[in-house]
């Protein structure tokens, strides 16, 4: 049994500021009061304790209050990715069998048809039922569900429990330390584990979250220069833009600024050097939806000694390389610990997420002689573009649904801005214009997943058992 984080935090430090957003601020006591009221309003609108709901909302205080209301009601929250197309969202909503989608008014146009929903404004203006808010949560209770794709190309809903989130936050504090003056800037999406985990840490640590609706390199750079914030979570493309502002202004991060938690794929060494020159410590991390954020993190002091490494596991986590008997031997990265998901929902409900407690990530890597992890190859040829994961199989599935396409292969290409972008190789069965194929993709795929180029080829590279060899796709261009 663990305490309801929101109630306990408000009890312990009621007057500390817990959230700031667009010039407004809320103490933990205020956050509790609003979220308890929203919980009563949700109950009045027929949302039952423990039911499964979906949430679609931008980075906004209102989204947080609705999320916390769901947590009070011990609902399982399917947190929807706002960048997805209607058909992608419809798949998740159906797969998760949610009772209702709670939608930020601004995001109404993103919602697929024929879905039960409630607008945030409806909730906020509703009467409310007096309900019992439980002071304790079970460790194994599901707090959130996030969809991630896999080898099959069908997104899987990943359960993230109280224990998963909490142990991750506690492991992290043992790694990076804590002061009550810490302020964490959140400009990554709340619908990603990178953003949601900032909220969890705030409730456990009692620190302020400075939330941004959108990434804004000028304003964020200013927060870092002035020391208004101490921590920030970033993907590579964001760091580069912030560095650019600092460099233009010939400014440095405040000594009060502590660190960048750097996720979503590896960071170019040049960015790390430039960050060092601007007084910014960058901690690269290896995490995923199935581990409720960080599994391993590389300390800033090792950034140059261990280039390309994702560091060592956090305190409660273990990493092993399947089949490796010696340091430097490559194999599948397996993860164990209280932060590993107990499993999936929907069509993958019966697929176990672990074997003997070990999550088989599908990623390939090795541990060096000091136990530092190096990720060599991401699972299923995963493409990471601006911090968003793109699974080639999912894009290929869509392409093959086009009437002119016989075969399709997708891989990532290096890109200065986004790290990687997806490109497609197709074998046609009848003539089709590239523009028309791209248009088709846009109807079925989130914008960031749409191939930047489609190349028509005679045949795709396949191995002896006829399996597509995605790593050989690029050679078709030379």
The residue ranges that bind its own copies (CB under 8 A) are: 1-3, 8-9, 11-12, 14, 135-136, 170, 173-174, 177-180, 204-206, 312-313, 315-316, 318, 336, 338, 357, 370-371
Nearer to its own copies, 156 or 339 (CB): 339
Tell me how far, at minimum, the Cβ of 119 lies from its own copies, in Å.
Answer: 35
DSSP states along 194-248: HHHHHHHHHHHHT-EEEE-SS--HHHHHHHHHHTS-SEEEE-HHHHHHHHHHHHH
Tell me how far, at minimum, the Cβ of 208 lies from its own copies, in Å.
Answer: 14
Closest Cα to residue 38, out of 116, 106, 129? 129
The H-or-E segment that residue 398 falls in is: helix 392-400
Nearer to its own copies, 203 or 239 (CB): 203
Nearer to its own copies, 222 or 318 (CB): 318
CA 162 to chain centre: 17
Tell me how far, at minimum, the Cβ of 123 lies from its own copies, in Å.
Answer: 29
Tell me how far, at minimum, the Cβ of 291 lies from its own copies, in Å.
Answer: 15
CA distance 470 to 308: 23
Tell me how far, at minimum, the Cβ of 14 lies from its own copies, in Å.
Answer: 8
Nearer to its own copies, 210 or 258 (CB): 258
- Name the 3-class secondary structure at 164: helix
CA distance 311 to 301: 11
Nearer to its own copies, 105 or 140 (CB): 140
User: What residues contact 238, with CB distance under 8 A and at least 6 apart?
Assistant: 187, 188, 215, 217, 387
Nearer to its own copies, 16 or 252 (CB): 16
CA distance 166 to 173: 11
CB atoms within 10 A of CB 103: 25
Tell me how far, at minimum, the Cβ of 179 lies from its own copies, in Å.
Answer: 5
CA distance 449 to 83: 10
Tell me how far, at minimum, the Cβ of 261 lies from its own copies, in Å.
Answer: 16
CB atoms within 10 A of CB 49: 15
User: What residues contact 215, with CB distance under 8 A and at least 6 apart?
Assistant: 187, 238, 241
Nearer to its own copies, 52 or 339 (CB): 339
Tell me how far, at minimum, the Cβ of 329 lies from its own copies, in Å.
Answer: 18
- Name the pairing type of β-strands 117-119 and 259-262: unpaired
Nearer to its own copies, 312 or 470 (CB): 312
Tell me how far, at minimum, the Cβ of 27 lies from its own copies, in Å.
Answer: 14
The answer to whether the beta carbons of residues 341 and 359 sit under 8 Å apart is yes
Nearer to its own copies, 4 or 420 (CB): 4
């Amino acid at each position: 049994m663990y305490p309801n984080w929101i109630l306990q935090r408000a009890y312990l430090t009621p007057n500390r500021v817990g959230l700031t957003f667009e010039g407004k601020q809320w103490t933990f006591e205020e956050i509790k009061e609003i979220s308890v009221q929203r919980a009563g309003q949700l109950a009045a609108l027929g949302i039952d304790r423990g039911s499964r709901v979906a949430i679609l909302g931008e980075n906004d205080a209102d989204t947080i209050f609705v999320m916390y209301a769901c947590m009070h009601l011990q609902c399982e929250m399917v947190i929807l990715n706002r960048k997805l197309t209607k058909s992608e969202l419809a798949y998740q909503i159906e797969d998760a069998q949610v009772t209702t989608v709670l939608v930020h008014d601004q995001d109404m146009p993103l919602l697929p048809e024929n879905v039960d929903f409630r607008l945030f404004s409806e909730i906020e203006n509703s009467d409310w039922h007096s309900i019992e808010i439980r002071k304790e949560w079970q460790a194994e209770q599901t707090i959130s569900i996030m969809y991630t794709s896999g080898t099959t190309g069908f997104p899987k809903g990943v359960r993230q429990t109280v224990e998963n989130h909490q142990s991750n936050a506690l492991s992290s504090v043992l790694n990076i330390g804590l002061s009550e003056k810490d302020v964490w800037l959140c400009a990554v999406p709340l619908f990603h584990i990178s953003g949601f985990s900032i909220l969890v840490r705030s409730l456990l640590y009692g620190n302020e979250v400075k939330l941004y609706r959108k990434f804004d390199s000028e304003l964020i750079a200013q927060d870092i220069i002035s020391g208004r914030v101490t921590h920030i979570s970033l993907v590579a493309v964001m760091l580069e833009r912030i560095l650019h502002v600092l460099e233009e202004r010939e400014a440095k991060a405040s000594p009060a600024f502590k660190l960048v938690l750097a996720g979503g794929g590896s960071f170019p060494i040049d960015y790390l050097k430039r960050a060092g020159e601007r007084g910014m410590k960058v901690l690269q991390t290896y995490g995923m939806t199935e581990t409720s954020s960080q599994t391993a993190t590389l300390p800033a002091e090792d950034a140059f000694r261990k280039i390309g490494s994702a560091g060592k596991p956090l305190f409660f986590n273990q990493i092993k390389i399947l089949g490796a008997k010696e340091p430097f031997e490559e194999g599948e990265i397996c993860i164990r610990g209280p932060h590993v998901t107990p499993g999936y929902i929907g069509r993958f409900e019966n697929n176990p997420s672990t074997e003997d407690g070990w999550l088989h990530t599908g990623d390939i890597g090795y541990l060096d002689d000091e136990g530092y992890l190096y990720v060599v190859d991401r699972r299923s040829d995963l493409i990471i573009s601006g911090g968003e994961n793109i699974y080639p199989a999912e894009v290929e599935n869509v392409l093959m649904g086009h009437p002119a396409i016989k075969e399709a292969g997708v891989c990532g290409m290096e890109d200065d801005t986004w790290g990687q972008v997806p490109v497609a190789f197709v074998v046609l069965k009848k003539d089709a214009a590239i523009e028309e194929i791209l248009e088709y993709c846009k109807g079925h795929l989130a914008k960031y997943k749409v191939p930047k180029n489609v190349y028509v080829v005679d045949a795709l590279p396949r191995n002896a058992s006829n399996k597509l060899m995605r790593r050989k796709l690029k050679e078709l261009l030379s």
